[in-house]
Amino acid sequence: MKIISGSLMELSAHLARQTDSQDDAVIEERVKAIIAEVKAKGDQALFSYTEQFDQVALAKLKLDLTEIERGYQETAPEVVQALEAAKANITSFHLKQKQSGFVDAEKAGVIRGQLVLPIETVGIYVPGGTARYPSSVLMNALPAKIAGVKRIVMVTPASPEGLPPGLLAAAKICGIEEIYQVGGAQGIAALAFGTETIPKVDKIVGPGNVYVATAKKILFGTVAIDMIAGPSEVVVLADEAANPAFIAADLLSQAEHDVLARAILITTSQLIAEKVNEELESQLVTLPRGAIAREALDNHGAIFVVEDVTSQFALMNQIAPEHLEIQLADPLAHLSRVKHAGSVFLGAYASEPLGDYLAGPNHVLPTSGTARFFSPLGVEDFVKRTAFISYTKEALAAEKTEVMILAREEGLEAHARAIQVRFEEEKK
Amino acid sequence: MKIISGSLMELSAHLARQTDSQDDAVIEERVKAIIAEVKAKGDQALFSYTEQFDQVALAKLKLDLTEIERGYQETAPEVVQALEAAKANITSFHLKQKQSGFVDAEKAGVIRGQLVLPIETVGIYVPGGTARYPSSVLMNALPAKIAGVKRIVMVTPASPEGLPPGLLAAAKICGIEEIYQVGGAQGIAALAFGTETIPKVDKIVGPGNVYVATAKKILFGTVAIDMIAGPSEVVVLADEAANPAFIAADLLSQAEHDVLARAILITTSQLIAEKVNEELESQLVTLPRGAIAREALDNHGAIFVVEDVTSQFALMNQIAPEHLEIQLADPLAHLSRVKHAGSVFLGAYASEPLGDYLAGPNHVLPTSGTARFFSPLGVEDFVKRTAFISYTKEALAAEKTEVMILAREEGLEAHARAIQVRFEEEKK
């Protein structure tokens, strides 16, 4: 990987130049056409796109419960056990995110409060194709279950060999009973509008490719969505005492995802920079997805050598990475320097893949700098708030003047009169 | 207003047919052109659009602090006082929404947790034109302040007479020091990309017209947005004991907003339905915005007469209204029947305008049925979450097998090796 040294100002300017302004007008038009077709033709469009894009002539969209059960049975017991262990950790972490509403009855005659209600129906998109992601099923479904979502609908691209057993095992472990074999923009459109077979949902969550992300964006408003995901990224902050082999392995675990994945090391040590590069080379040799990882490192990876820890965090916060590893002495002490990051891994043994699978925090995370404003997927994504107020006549009397003044200040006389009428003798 | 009686099934089918499928492709193209122009030309485009759309040849975009102060001074003292009273209620309500992070250290060697961090820079859109909405400044800015947002940037359309003093008073009361006179899609684009004068923000909140809503939707992902707002609506549930004058006044306060506003009464009493209609007629006569209200009632209003309270709530939940008034006996007892609504007003004296201005819950609410999945604007809109984990070597050892099994199940060997390398003797 290229090693770039410089002052904070130089490196910050370097990073700022890297914002890719991808023109996706062509993709957008294609996705819009797919959406229109699914809206107009329902299931028929889904069968047709599945044949076209996934090379599968489906007999039906929905899996039977027996098919889900069979996938579970066909999954290796140690995989089932590992999924159950992951479920336990994910559940215990996400239970702490659960919020309740509140009631405020501090003022005489006034009750104010907020309900927190589960979203009724949620669609989970699980990527497919050559990949299989049972862990994504857990990460999407378990927070929804904890939030109290009544109906969870999973869609995932059809595959000529049928859906991977591990995926079905994960679904069963989460209690998912509705799985539809349809992916891409057509799968998102089906969830947004509903078809003869697939129910219309209130919110769609889960990562996908650029077609999925574009469809989610276009349909935002018709349904809610979690976030718009881009390529995955990790930033590792390391000092001279960090272990180059660990760092290289973690960078590679990011880079193997995708040729667009971004693996970045920011270190105060030129020596560590060089050693990590050596380790990358030696570890790459035997990596099954080595070609993908190498392309990602070459095109999107970088090692920045900076002057001090302040510069490390300044650059990191500028990137606002999806994953952040802090491989510095006393890592917890640096947590307050983190302004923008999806998920933070503290110390030499909190390796990023641990978070991908088992630790418990969610692995559906904001990418491409959107950690400035988006959050990891969580229980909060599956609830909505409703406010309420109750006022007695006396309580309203105490505040009616201010309401009427403000309504009239805004030129909304009917607003003022709605208050006034409640104090007119003849109207009672 | 038309009175429609029927069974729940009939009325539910009637409602389902009313989904307007507005084709906004033309608006979208126009908004995209504006966005591209602002991105390319910055301030110059803003001056030019402001001249074109608002008929104002601005000398500068940003208001001086002295201009804000002057607006405050020019505002009637009773309006300032009313704004301060509203601020107190809004603040006390929204303080209860404030969340803190958590740390979970229940397992030996494992620390897991979640930070809740304020979004750094937020743009607030305040509608302008012929209207003036000081209350919207409070409703948008105060939750942001409570969340800890460092920089709040307000944009609002320029006006030939200058910005309304009341608006500037509200801004001063909220501690807003950055106000730019630019509205519409161009104002949203300026916030999303930044210009020479206007800073790029992380999130844009606040209601606006269809151009503003479309721009927010298109730029979602580049920035975060609160929600996509449509025309405003109220559903009033009333029984035979409810007061027709109060109900009519509340329906009118909704209807006067906009010819697209939707005011709906759902009652079990034919008599109340008729009396409300009489009251509407008599109250409309002297209403300054009577023509707007009448058009809204004629085209989008309705009175449904249903069999029972179950049907009332079923229809209401189908609509998922922005505002819900429950003018039934013992209204609090019905709260658990509310599945989808933005803000609920309980009893005869919790008139909807009270919530618009003074009670404290937010008046920026999900519209057009999006209360199924969107929430009222609140402190949560101005924060983001960051997860973190720390594992000792021993803690990782206890879970490493499961991580590696799941990584290999997903075909991600580098993920497995990132764990494995930490337990290889020669790598330490």
Amino acid residing at B268: T
Helices of type H across A161-229: 165-174, 184-193, 210-219
* Residue B193 with chain A: CB contacts under 8 Å: none
> How far A321 CA lies from chain B's nearest CA (Å)?
11
- Boundaries of every domain in chain A: 3-19+230-373, 42-225, 392-427
Distances (CA, A) of A266 to A2, A8, A239, A241: 12, 11, 9, 14
pLDDT mean over B367-388: 96
Query: Mutating which of B167, B214, B417, B420 best tests the A interface, going by the most A Cβ atoms within 10 A?
Result: B417
Contact A406 B357 (CB under 8 A): yes
CA A284 – CA A191 distance, rounded (Å): 40
Complete DSSP assignment for B198-227: SPP-SEEE----HHHHHHHHHHBTTBEES-
* β-strands A110-118, A383-391 pairing: antiparallel
Residues 244-263 of B with CB under 8 A from A: 245-246, 249-250, 252-253, 255-257
User: Residues A380, A386, A390, A396: is their CA dihedral positive or negative?
Assistant: positive
- Quick one: which H or E segment has residue B177? none
Query: What was the pLDDT predicted at A96?
Result: 97
Contact B384 A374 (CB under 8 A): yes
Two tokens, residue B168: 């500037």
Two tokens, residue A88: 């336990």
Query: What was the pLDDT predicted at A16?
Result: 84
pLDDT mean over B172-177: 97
> How far B343 CA lies from chain A's nearest CA (Å)?
5
* Residue A411 with chain B: CB contacts under 8 Å: 131-132, 288-289
CA B211 – CA B193 distance, rounded (Å): 17
Query: What was the pLDDT predicted at B373?
Result: 96
Contact B332 A111 (CB under 8 A): yes
Two tokens, residue B84: 């301060």
Q: What amino acid positions of A are annotated as catalytic residues? A: 322-323
Contact A410 B376 (CB under 8 A): no
Q: Is A339 on the interface with B (CB under 8 A)?
A: yes
Q: How confident is the model at residue A310 (pLDDT cuts 50, 70, 90)?
A: very high
Closest chain A CA to residue B397: A349
Q: Is B422 on the interface with A (CB under 8 A)?
A: yes
- A144-170: per-residue pLDDT in tens? 999 999 999 999 999 998 999 999 999
- A187-218: per-residue pLDDT in tens? 999 999 999 999 999 999 998 888 999 999 99
Asked whether residue A307 carries a pLDDT value surpassing 80, the answer given is yes
Query: What was the pLDDT predicted at B20?
Result: 54
Average pLDDT, chain A: 95
Q: How confident is the model at residue A423 (pLDDT cuts 50, 70, 90)?
A: very high
CATH topology for A3-19+230-373 is: Rossmann fold (3.40.50)
Q: Is B180 on the interface with A (CB under 8 A)?
A: no
Residues of chain B with pLDDT > 70, as a percent, come to 98
Nearest to B419 among A351, A410, A419 (CB): A351
Q: Is B150 on the interface with A (CB under 8 A)?
A: no
- A363-404: per-residue pLDDT in tens? 999 999 999 999 999 999 999 999 999 999 999 999 999 999
| B356 marked among binding-site residues | yes
Nearest to A220 among B76, B220, B293 (CB): B220
- B206-263: per-residue pLDDT in tens? 988 889 999 999 999 999 999 887 778 999 999 999 999 999 999 999 999 989 999 9
pLDDT mean over B284-295: 95
- A6-55: per-residue pLDDT in tens? 999 999 988 888 765 555 788 999 999 999 999 999 999 999 999 999 99
Domain B3-23+230-373 homologous superfamily, CATH: Nitrogenase molybdenum iron protein domain (3.40.50.1980)
Q: Is B358 on the interface with A (CB under 8 A)?
A: yes
Q: Is B36 on the interface with A (CB under 8 A)?
A: no
Domains B3-23+230-373 and B42-225 equal at CATH topology level: yes
> How far A361 CA lies from chain B's nearest CA (Å)?
6
pLDDT mean over B46-71: 96
- A47-105: per-residue pLDDT in tens? 999 999 999 999 999 999 999 999 999 999 999 999 999 999 999 999 999 999 999 99
Asked whether residue B177 carries a pLDDT value surpassing 80, the answer given is yes
Query: What was the pLDDT predicted at A135?
Result: 96
CATH topology for B42-225 is: Rossmann fold (3.40.50)
Nearest to B413 among A287, A344, A375 (CB): A287
Lowest mean pLDDT among A107-121, A224-238, B305-319: A224-238
Two tokens, residue B315: 């229809």
Query: What was the pLDDT predicted at B24?
Result: 76
Which residues on neighbouring strands pair with residue A302, listed in sequence order? Answer: A264
